[in-house]
Structure 1
Amino acid sequence: MSNRGKRYLMKKTYRGIRQNISTKKLLKDELWVDSLSEGGDPLWAMAYPARYAVGMANLGFQYICTYLKELGVAVERFFDDIEGDRSLEEGRPVGNFPIITFSVVYEPDVKKMLNMLNRWGVSPLWKDRAEKREPIIGVGGSLSVINPLIFSHIADFVVLGDGEEVIPYLVKTVRGFSETGDRNEFWEFIAEHPSIFVPPLHLDMLRRGETLERKKSFCLDLSKAKGHALWVSPHTVFPDTLLIETQRGCFRGCPYCTIPSCFGRPRFRQLKEVIDDIRKASKLGIRRLGVIAPESGDYPWIKEVLKEIRDARLEVSFASLRIDNISDLLLETLVEGGQRQITIAPETGDQYFRVCCGKNFTNEHILDTLQKAQKIGLRKVKMYFMLGLPNEEDKHILETAKLIMEVKKNTGMNVVASVGLFIPKPQTPWANMGFSHSTYKNKVSLLKSAIAGLKGSEIRVQSAREAKEEYRITWANADDTLDYFYSDVAPNRNKTVEQLKNLGF
């Protein structure tokens, strides 16, 4: 499933999460999977620019909190919906923290991050914060690997990749800053790490066309990664679920997807480590697992993992499933754990287009797999589609409508079709493809009219406004100031590609 699909799924799921829960109850209801000390030095604000329910369902965010705690840092969490805009743990105002780091995963979160800073009274620009001696701001997360230039005027530093290889150096440098308060010295020291982009030092160099030779940080040995979430909570979009990682990177090479292009070659956690996490969950009384991977079926020991889950009688969900990787064993494991729905991403109903998207399976394969799923006990299927693919014509959209109708007719399952607009992303093979925002509404109307009246089906559509904003933000470059995020100016994609190349990407 693409990042676009995951984000849409979380947005829809969150509607069922109860809001306005007190911080006291949020903390009380959290289950600590590992025992780690609280307190320490320095004070460090770790922020996620979304609600608690969404932020705590992000394994990367939890990883960073864990690593900081293991290094003796007094890290406290901030979310977009915590009462009083104070830290979750101790209720401290953000001004008490010398450093604030944001985990930014999706493009719309950039504006949420800016809104949080404005609400807190913290200047959103690094230049202004330096003059006013306000907190240092750092950024990490998926978006900083796809296009760190987005944060050129906002962040004091941007982590370019996996945190495992960067966090110890970052903590050491921040401790030095907390003692001296010398911001210029902090910038100089932190820029010595090749996987950290430091706009106060690097911005003018990029604008002059100089080469920076920054490089992405990849954790090649996943035994160094924590592997599982630190907290389990009933108040997240994946309630009472222990998130477990099995894989990073992807070999599939889907040309629209940022994962194979931006996040390194495939690497896998060892089977014993994953099994140990499953058994830990069972020992702690956790009954639900969420398996986090670009494509769960590509894990070399997936059969052994499924057998362990079944033996423990646990419920499991997967972040991503390709139809050509769904086995009978996987379907049976889902049903035995209590699942009644399955999520797939055909992307299109047209076979040729699907192959172009990197997904070489037929509509017949989709129907055969879903018929098996229905017979085993699954009652609902969510399917993710894109409109506006390169060289798309009306006939291709009608093929998508035909597939939706055939799934309903041949399986009897309730069908949810989640539709988004194809957005070309930096660093991907389709980065230079067109963005058909102007015709998107007509494409959606054609699809809807083609399946109008189909009982037991639902279409959920990404708005044209959201798609356009995502496109503009994802292509921001070092020349785009803060006003760019609130304007209608078209992005300069060629400039972004040039500056990313000079950055080292």
Structure 2
Amino acid sequence: MRWQIEKKLTDQLDRETGYVRYPFGSRHTMAICYPNTYETGMSNLGLQIIYQQVNGRGDFQCERAFLPDKDLQKLYDKDHIPLLTLENQRPLCDFEIIGFSINFEMDYFNVPFILEQGRVPVEAAKRQDDDPLVVMGGPVAFFNPEPLTPFIDVCLVGEGEDLIHAFLDAWLAAKAEPGMTRQKLLQRLAQVDGVYVPSLYTHVYNEDGELTAIVPEAGAPEHVRRQWHELTKPGETVIATPDTEFGAMYLIEIARGCGRHCRFCMAGYCYRRPRVRPLEYVKEAVLRGKKLGKKIGLMGAAISDYPYIDELVTFIRDQGLAFSCASLRADSITPTIVKGIAESGQKTITLAPEAGSDHLRNIINKGINEEHLLHSIDLCTAAGIHKVRMYIMIGLPWETDEDIQGIIDMTHRVRAHMDAIGNSAGITLSINPFIPKPMTPFQWMAMTDKKTVEKRLDHIRKGLAHDKRIEILAEPLRQCYIQGVLSRGDRRVGQLLLLAHTYGGVKGWKRAAKEMHFDVDAFLYTKRPEQALLPWDTLDNGLVPNYLTQELRQAEKGAYTRPCFDGCRRCHICGGN
């Protein structure tokens, strides 16, 4: 019954601090949806930041909706209740704008499900003038939104703090004009920098299924330039709740972007250039977290690269606060950081060598070596952090059998080194297949076939099986290879997603591919020509033309690309163009 759902949502709100609730309809209405459960969605700082920006305007109210967990979904299904928002328990179809914050490929399947549950037409092409406008933000929107274009009216291409206001201002201005149809509204919104309207672009394929042209309608820009934010607005927890993965933490974004140039990493290219928040702002945010009695969670691409990290850690500990880091690099970790996280109760150090050989680490431009790993382990062991977790990829471009053996040999050396310094704690290897990402130097590369990856994973397991202190974890390969399709998918993959939705979502994926005669293996395992038109080529991330191909050549040679530095003009994102 609906009252049971409303009670669960109200109880959820009662456990929060910092949310905003206005009488429904007293302002223009926007619902922001995270296509996963509340526990996952409310761990996402980006969603909270946009929630704060919209509610702070004075002319909009922003409410939240999430994928129901299993127990809540049973209540929705029992009486066919539409998906309700948290703040005012209103169906999604009652809102003027519905925003999706999308970060992970496997969440794509939840987008049509949430729309259907919210009584919103699933397909954008079937929406009428009085239906909600469905908008997508988050990293997916600005590296490859094409697989989601059957469901999305508008994509916000870039970081949202400023872009959301430009979009909403344009929406208000257009809606104020008499006779504004949905089509005219979309055409008007497409004039805003950073706003991509997929329906205004036709993708043309030849008889072999190759994308040959992307044709914009008259008046639509040929390319949509992604937008950046200079970190002038707050970047910390807005809504505190105990019911998330980071429920005990007050999250603070201390930096954004990464200039390390790891060639496999989408974040390193889509969030370039690196920017840091002033130390004084971060200290003030720490004190706000202290008032809530929270542990401090430092967020950023590489926390140990923050230029004031030692001073910040010292400040946090002087306040009597514990803290945790989103990520550390083995070549920039310091004794101060290690001492601080040990005193904060952390028992495991997580490092990401990504590969077991210098050969492959040079190809991907990782920039660390085994000495960095061992030095980090020394620091952590001395501080009382004994367990080690290492992230490894297999199936990287130009990988050889020797590189796979290198993972085994490296792990044995790490194990021997730990024993030599009196550290008998366990090692966990988190091993997953490499997935090529759009807008990176490896965007053209084939994914290594599943059988080869299984064989190499089995070889690693056998090579390390004798030491029970070494644990190997791997994500289910089926999901990884679905991600491989979605990551670089085109609009035909969007149709595949739509059909899979009718068959139950991810469990209907294989059936939908078979019915559409979609050759998944050919899509994954065929290297794309560097001159090929790519589905995401409408989006301009600011890189100088040919920069990615130049980096691909560097990868082939195993040549090093120096991290970003002041005055650098290599990629042109920092104003070189």
Q: Same fold (TM over 0.5)?
A: yes
Correspondent of 1:60 among 22, 46, 65: 46
Deviation sequence 1:187-216 (CA, Å, 0-9, x none): 122111120101122346995445712100
Correspondent of 1:169 among 166, 170, 175: 166
Q: Which residue of 2 aligns with 1:9?
A: none
CA distance in structure 2 between the partners assigned to 1:156 and 1:371 by the alignment: 52
Deviation sequence 1:308-333 (CA, Å, 0-9, x none): 11111222111111111111100000
CA distance in structure 1 between the partners assigned to 2:44 and 2:68 by the alignment: 16
Q: Report whether the alignment pairs 1:412 with 2:448.
A: no
CA displacement at 1:36 relative to structure 2: 5.7
Deviation sequence 1:51-84 (CA, Å, 0-9, x none): 1111111111111111011113221111112634
Structure 2 CA distance for partners of 1:120 and 1:113, relative to 1, 3 Å: same
CA distance in structure 2 between the partners assigned to 1:199 and 1:337 by the alignment: 47
Q: Which residue of 2 aligns with 1:390?
A: 397
Correspondent of 1:280 among 268, 288, 303: 288
CA displacement at 1:379 relative to structure 2: 3.0
Q: Which residue of 1 aligns with 2:63?
A: 76
Q: Which residue of 1 aligns with 2:262?
A: 254
Q: Which residue of 2 aligns with 1:430?
A: 442
2:245 is paired with a residue whose SS is coil
Structure 2 CA distance for partners of 1:496 and 1:476, relative to 1, 3 Å: farther
The one-letter code sitting in structure 2 at the alignment partner of 1:113 is V
The one-letter code sitting in structure 2 at the alignment partner of 1:458 is E
Correspondent of 1:473 among 486, 489, 498: 486
CA displacement at 1:362 relative to structure 2: 2.2
2:264 is paired with a residue whose SS is coil
CA displacement at 1:176 relative to structure 2: 5.0
Correspondent of 2:152 among 148, 152, 155: 155
Structure 2 CA distance for partners of 1:283 and 1:484, relative to 1, 3 Å: closer
CA displacement at 1:155 relative to structure 2: 0.9
1:386 is paired with a residue whose SS is strand
The one-letter code sitting in structure 2 at the alignment partner of 1:78 is A
Correspondent of 1:421 among 423, 428, 433: 433
CA distance in structure 2 between the partners assigned to 1:249 and 1:94 by the alignment: 33
Unaligned runs of 5+ in 1: 1-20
CA displacement at 1:355 relative to structure 2: 2.5
CA displacement at 1:165 relative to structure 2: 2.1
CA distance in structure 2 between the partners assigned to 1:481 and 1:145 by the alignment: 16
Does the 8 Å CA contact 1:209/1:502 hold for their aligned counterparts?
A: no
Q: Which residue of 1 aligns with 2:534?
A: 498
The one-letter code sitting in structure 2 at the alignment partner of 1:110 is Y
The one-letter code sitting in structure 1 at the alignment partner of 2:28 is P
CA distance in structure 2 between the partners assigned to 1:260 and 1:208 by the alignment: 26
Structure 2 CA distance for partners of 1:55 and 1:496, relative to 1, 3 Å: farther
Q: Report whether the alignment pairs 1:267 with 2:275.
A: yes
Structure 2 CA distance for partners of 1:388 and 1:347, relative to 1, 3 Å: same
CA distance in structure 2 between the partners assigned to 1:455 and 1:496 by the alignment: 48
Structure 2 CA distance for partners of 1:204 and 1:364, relative to 1, 3 Å: closer
The one-letter code sitting in structure 1 at the alignment partner of 2:430 is S
1:389 is paired with a residue whose SS is coil
Q: Report whether the alignment pairs 1:489 with 2:519.
A: yes
TM-score normalised by length of structure 2:
0.78
Correspondent of 1:355 among 342, 347, 362: 362
2:140 is paired with a residue whose SS is helix
Q: Report whether the alignment pairs 1:232 with 2:240.
A: yes
1:31 is paired with a residue whose SS is coil
The one-letter code sitting in structure 1 at the alignment partner of 2:33 is A
The one-letter code sitting in structure 2 at the alignment partner of 1:50 is N
CA distance in structure 2 between the partners assigned to 1:184 and 1:406 by the alignment: 62
Describe how 1:326-365 pairs up with structure 2 within 5 A: 326-365=333-372
1:222 is paired with a residue whose SS is coil
1:441 is paired with a residue whose SS is helix
Q: Which residue of 2 aligns with 1:91?
A: 89
Unaligned runs of 5+ in 2: 1-6, 77-82, 205-211, 499-508, 542-577
Q: Which residue of 2 aligns with 1:15?
A: none
Q: Which residue of 2 aligns with 1:48?
A: 34
CA distance in structure 2 between the partners assigned to 1:239 and 1:484 by the alignment: 33
1:352 is paired with a residue whose SS is helix
The one-letter code sitting in structure 2 at the alignment partner of 1:92 is R
CA distance in structure 1 between the partners assigned to 2:120 and 2:226 by the alignment: 29
2:224 is paired with a residue whose SS is coil
Does the 8 Å CA contact 2:255/2:300 hold for their aligned counterparts?
A: yes
Q: Which residue of 2 aligns with 1:129?
A: 127
Identical amino acids, percent of aligned pairs = 27
Describe how 1:189-204 pairs up with structure 2 within 5 A: 189-203=188-202
1:384 is paired with a residue whose SS is strand
Structure 2 CA distance for partners of 1:36 and 1:122, relative to 1, 3 Å: closer
CA distance in structure 2 between the partners assigned to 1:369 and 1:397 by the alignment: 23
CA distance in structure 2 between the partners assigned to 1:54 and 1:27 by the alignment: 16
The one-letter code sitting in structure 2 at the alignment partner of 1:454 is D
> Which moved further from structure 2: 42-51 or 409-418?
409-418
Deviation sequence 1:136-165 (CA, Å, 0-9, x none): 111000111211223332211000001122
Structure 2 CA distance for partners of 1:395 and 1:307, relative to 1, 3 Å: same
The one-letter code sitting in structure 2 at the alignment partner of 1:262 is C
Deviation sequence 1:323-353 (CA, Å, 0-9, x none): 1111110000001112112211110121221
CA displacement at 1:110 relative to structure 2: 0.9
TM-score normalised by length of structure 1:
0.89
CA distance in structure 2 between the partners assigned to 1:338 and 1:496 by the alignment: 51
CA displacement at 1:446 relative to structure 2: 0.9
1:498 is paired with a residue whose SS is coil
Structure 2 CA distance for partners of 1:104 and 1:335, relative to 1, 3 Å: same
Q: Which residue of 2 aligns with 1:460?
A: 473
CA distance in structure 2 between the partners assigned to 1:496 and 1:67 by the alignment: 39
CA distance in structure 1 between the partners assigned to 2:388 and 2:30 by the alignment: 42
Structure 2 CA distance for partners of 1:467 and 1:447, relative to 1, 3 Å: same
Does the 8 Å CA contact 2:202/2:215 hold for their aligned counterparts?
A: no
CA distance in structure 2 between the partners assigned to 1:165 and 1:185 by the alignment: 24
Deviation sequence 1:415-438 (CA, Å, 0-9, x none): 221111011111111222221133
